[in-house]
Structure 1
Amino acid sequence: GYGDLRTITTALTAPVARAARTATATAPAEGGGPHEAALRLLRELIAAETGLDPAELAEDAPFERLGIDSLMIAKLNRELDRHFDALSKTLFFEYATLGELVGYFAEHHAAELTGGTPAAAPVTPTAEGTAPRPPRAPRRTARAAIVEPAEPAGDAADDTDAIAVIGLAGRYPAADDLDELWTTLAEGRDAITEIPAERWDSRRWYDPDPAAPGLAHTRWGGFLRDVDRFDPLFFGISPRQAELMDPQERLFLQNAWHVLEDAGYRRSDLADRPVGVYVGVMYGEYQFHGALDALRGGRPLTGSSFATIANRVSHALDLSGPSMALDTMCSSSLTAIHLACESLRRGESELAIAGGVNVSVHPYKFAFLSQGRFLSSDGRCRAFGVGGDGYVPGEGVGAVLLKPYRKALADGDRIHGLILGSAVNHGARTNGYSVPNPRAQQRAITTALEQAGVAPQDIGYVEAHGTGTALGDPIELTGLTHAYRSAEAAPGTWPIGSVKSNIGHLESAAGIAGLTKVLLQFRHRTLVPSLHSAELNPNIDFERSPFRVQRELSAWPDGDRPRRAGLSSFGAGGANAHLVLEESPNPDPVTDVPAGEQRTGEPVLFLLSARDEERLRAYAESAARFVTTERVPLADLCFTTQVGREPLDARLAVAVTDGAELVAALRRFADGGPA
């Protein structure tokens, strides 16, 4: 009948099936071989689940056209487990047609199909035709370049395409800066909370039934503090104009300023230079409030294009390089970083600010995601853990300042880490629009490794996409396993984790959050725990997997090669991105005690400036906390305040020889007294 899915599916597949049967009738008989046995079994199982006629199931008909969904796949996996040992739960995602899946079983399970003894070797799903090529001869690494003579012969120190991260800044749930983020990660904290009342009344928009129309079945998320605070006059923006700006635009502009400060650059240092700005963003909810305001008879808020987020930074900081926002959904910020690296390698940009931003300011998104059954029901992101039924939305803003490694080294820039290789691609057609393609994920990872000149065995950690879904995580592990299989590693060789277990899935800002976590692990030489995985996802065979979930805080010890990591970010629409990272070849000096407990032989001058006295006193309080806790040389810190900060109207100068004296002066000033 009209509109009946099974009738339509049968009609669509029947011509192909008849052609297949005709071809089979004239082909040489295969008897009871593994191919025929696999075809017969799979047709019977799929027909029983879909209600279709087994004879109408053509080998070249895509599973998507057969109406097979994730629930059916789970049932089919259980049936297949009755016939075969140690099967991957992602086979229906790895193979797009019945014929492809038949080929897999005929090749890898011939003994079971023909009544022989099952193979004793563990079963590893294959991605036909996608085995990684051997990495090209490794370029001289950044660390090796550092120890070369000042003027090395030939191009020994100049033959790397690595991109240096020379600035890093961000704000994340329960973390107003990266020191607070590191505390969250190192202490294994979960920063997820109920939706703050100042965002919207979550009770009004909540229903525990996921099918309730227009409502959300969860009230949990990761949220930024003070998301509405902004100093427009600092950037030459009127208060009225600032009110009309999307909070994401304001936040990324602030963060771009902070990333320049972290790198020790002033606005005048970059004025009218080809500095690119690349920002990943995917939700524009602020304009919903404008529409509602207009309906109520008020003055409507202006809607904003995503492009204004990047363009505002370029305008405010006087940067003349490429300026663009991009939306590849959850891989947006990592894709932005990839494009920034490519621009630097082409010489199109001298430096680039790249990152992402994501803020939830309207209940519509939670209702929409609930309708699609994307959200975790209990507010926990169980990356690689049992019981994951969705993700937890999180907010964040983060950015890096990038420069070609050779130039950063020559300029004496502080380097947080190196991007050795990056790659992006798309999953093409799969068994459903939002169904990941593990083969495409594998290709992105392999391409990034090849560009980096790094073999899988040179990687010490993988920051996974890890959204905490029952099938998404196994699919990701399948792609990773295929990409790393050339190393023939033992089970549990590579630790993996996901920052989403701490702060939620930051959607368009997920990639920059993962990059920040990896760079902080490099800095502290420590691997942090991935949460909510005490009991592992049963759809992943971790006993045979070369990967293991990093479930505790542990040292990342020195080895015979630099610390390196892989970083994945995958969009729901199939856009994949992967980076290969290496620790800084000249990490920051770490002192035995914090700067606040050090003495200098000669007096040193510590400078602060802000737009007005109120902000200067607040700045002094945060500076006092930094001096008290950070183990950096006091003299170096003072030097940075002199040359690496923008001179603003309100200023403070303190000459000291003792860190404790500096802390006391800063706190005295912060409390309203003289320095």
Structure 2
Amino acid sequence: MTGGDHDPIVIVGTAVEAPGGVETLEDFWTALAGGQELIGPFPRDREWPLAQLLSLHETEGWRRVRDAGGFLDGATEFDAQFFGITPREAAAMDPQQRVGMRVAWRALENAGLNPGDLDGAEAGCYMGASFTEYGPPSAAVNEHSGYRATGTALGAVAGRISHGLGLIGPSLTVDTACASSLSALHLAVGAVRGGECDWALAGGVCVMGSPAAFFEFAKNNALAADGHCRAYAGDATGTLWGEGAAVVVLERESRARALGHLIHGRVLATGINHNGKGAPLAVPSAAAQQRLIERTVAAAGIPVDAIELIEGHGTGTPVGDPLELTALATVYGAPGRSRGPLLGSVKSNIGHAQAASGMLGLIKVLLCGQHGQIAPSLHAGTPTDAVRWSDTSLRLATELTDWQPVDGLRYAAVSSFGVAGTNAHAIVAMPTGVGREQEEAHV
């Protein structure tokens, strides 16, 4: 558990790449504020067995797979020469390495740093990512042989960024499944606070090297039947897979102020835990999530009713959403609150971006704070009846809503959990004036 520091860790740079051609923070906010669903058909340039995939329902015991997901437009594109990588090596690199490198570069530029002038910096890099079956098997003779070890190693997702920039601090790729990017944030915050590095990059990336996740969830009857991720909705039938990447730049607030960096948000506390034994590995635990949330709130040192926005995990699965809602409502939804927090999930816009989902949710929260508005969560007009909404002050964010600060700050929480049992939670505070006015002063 990290938190409770007199010199807090702050976020001074952000960048994102999301489905629907989103490559800038401005485009991401436009989509979120406008309630846009950035879902599209399966990519036709990855040599996936689409005929087999889209006909799975013809086999007994398999759910229909819709021709839909949240896919990155530029996942197959990479300027290898810009990053000093040969075309042959670049082709053997997992696209998650490539996308991670360019989004990290943009985050540094957003922080006012020159990415080309960081060689030897005592900076860390913590990236959430999971194996997604990119490329042919390594135990084969092909044109990629010789580059497969680094090309498919999960550690190289963070390692490529550190190597390309010349960063000499800790460099870790974190795989806790769908909790990976918030787990990476937790480790990065602890490293900066503990003096392991002067500052750090933290993020997550997911680019599907194969449609394996669609096959798996079609067999488990946990895939959305209609091609939409209906987080917390009464008509949700399962999740919808997506892709994306998001990276933030972290440092101590004293350093940020000394260097004149914009402060997008303070990381008040982060935490991770595990469900333990009992239920099957892939089944979430409301009790474990509740314990983690309570500990994270305590570490943040703020009253629980200060939280006015919760970016939940919200996969749209009939098992996961009710259990998550039970934990969130127990901690954040006290019936006595005059106005409970608003809850949403970016997965309703872009699908479930797996290892990158938590960080994409965090950047959504930062953009809401910057603009003073809470973006709507889609498909939430009729919420699930798995919880008694009349007994909780928790509310679903169904429309764009003004968000007033309290004493100059807006407080929010972000939650994730993974199929291997890891839960992650973060609480952030966003100062007012991070928008155009402060940017002009910064320039």
TM interval, short-chain normalised: over 0.9
CA shift, 1:483, in A, is 2.1
Query: SS at 1:223's partner residue?
Result: coil
How big is each residue's C-alpha offset from its partner over 1:165-202, in whole Å with a ceiling of 9 and x where there is no partner?
A: 01100100111222111111111011111212223352
Q: Which one of the candidate residues 188, 194, 197 is aligned to 2:41?
A: 194
Give, in angstroms, the shift of residue 469 of structure 1: 1.6
Higher relative contact order (CA 8 A, sep 6+): 2
Question: Which one of 13, 18, 21 corresponds to residue 167 of structure 1?
Answer: 13
Is 1:350 equivalent to 2:198 in the alignment?
A: yes
Question: 1: CA distance between counterparts of 2:59 and 2:310?
Answer: 36
- Matched residues in 1 for 2:115 and 2:386: separation? 51
Listed one character per residue, the Cα deviations across residues 49-78 of structure 1 (whole Å, up to 9, x for unaligned) are: xxxxxxxxxxxxxxxxxxxxxxxxxxxxxx
Q: Say which of 201, 205, 208 aligns to 1:360.
A: 208
Cα displacement (A) at 1:471: 2.7
Q: Is the 8 A contact 1:169 1:400 kept in 2?
A: yes
Q: Which runs of 5+ in 2 are unaligned?
A: none
Which secondary structure state, in structure 2, belongs to the residue aligned with residue 356 of structure 1? Answer: strand
2:404 and 2:124 map into 1 onto residues whose CA distance is 36
1:585 and 1:408 map into 2 onto residues whose CA distance is 16
Give 2:373's match in structure 1, choosing from 506, 526, 532. 526
The change in CA–CA distance for 1:413 and 1:543 in structure 2 (over 3 A counts) is: same
Cα distance in structure 2, aligned partners of 1:212 and 1:492: 48
Instruction: State the shift of 1:256 in Å.
Output: 1.2
* Structure 2: distance between partners of 1:207 and 1:491: 50
CA contact (8 A) 1:386 1:470 kept: no
Question: Contact between 2:335 and 2:391, CA under 8 Å: does it hold in 1?
Answer: no
**What residue is the counterpart of 1:562 in the other structure?**
409
CA contact (8 A) 2:63 2:225 kept: no
Given that residues 56 and 62 in structure 2 are in contact (C-alpha distance below 8 angstroms), is that contact kept between their aligned partners in structure 1?
no
Equivalent residue, structure 2, for 1:465: 313
Given the alignment of the two structures, is residue 405 of structure 1 paired with residue 253 of structure 2, yes or no?
Answer: yes
Match of 1:334 in 2: 182
Match of 1:101 in 2: none
Specify every segment of 5 or more residues in structure 1 that has no aligned partner in the other structure, as ranges: 1-137, 140-158, 592-631, 640-675
Alignment of 1:116-515 (within 5 A): 160-174=6-20, 175-199=22-46, 200=48, 202-207=50-55, 209=57, 217-267=65-115, 269-287=117-135, 289-290=136-137, 294=140, 302=148, 304-484=152-332, 489-490=336-337, 493-515=340-362
Q: Which amino acid aligns with 1:580?
A: I
The structure with the greater share of residues assigned to helix is: 1
Return structure 1 stretches of 4+ with deviation > 4 angstroms. Answer: 210-216, 297-301
How many residues are treated as equivalent by the alignment? 436
Whole-angstrom distance in 2 between the partners of 1:554 and 1:215? 37
Distance 1:533 1:211 in 2: 32
Mapped contact 1:176–1:225 kept (Cα < 8 A): no
Normalised to the residue count of structure 2, the TM-score between the two structures is: 0.92
Identity of aligned residues (%): 37
Corresponding residue number in structure 2 for 1:551: 398
- Verify the 8 A CA contact 1:280 1:333 in the aligned structure 2: yes
The TM-score normalised by the length of structure 1 is 0.61
The 8 Å contact of residues 305 and 337 in structure 2, kept in 1 or not, is answered as no
Q: Deviations over 1:479-534 (max 9, x none)?
A: 1122236x553476111001000001110000111001000001110011100111
Aligned alpha-carbon RMSD (Å): 2.4
User: Which residue identity does 1:302 align to in structure 2?
Assistant: R
Q: What CA distance in whole angstroms lies between the structure 2 residues aligned with 1:351 and 1:299?
A: 35
- Select the structure of larger CA radius of gyration: 1
**SS of residue matched to 2:329:** helix
Distance 1:537 1:310, change over 3 A: same
Worse-matched range after superposition: 341-350 or 303-312 = 303-312
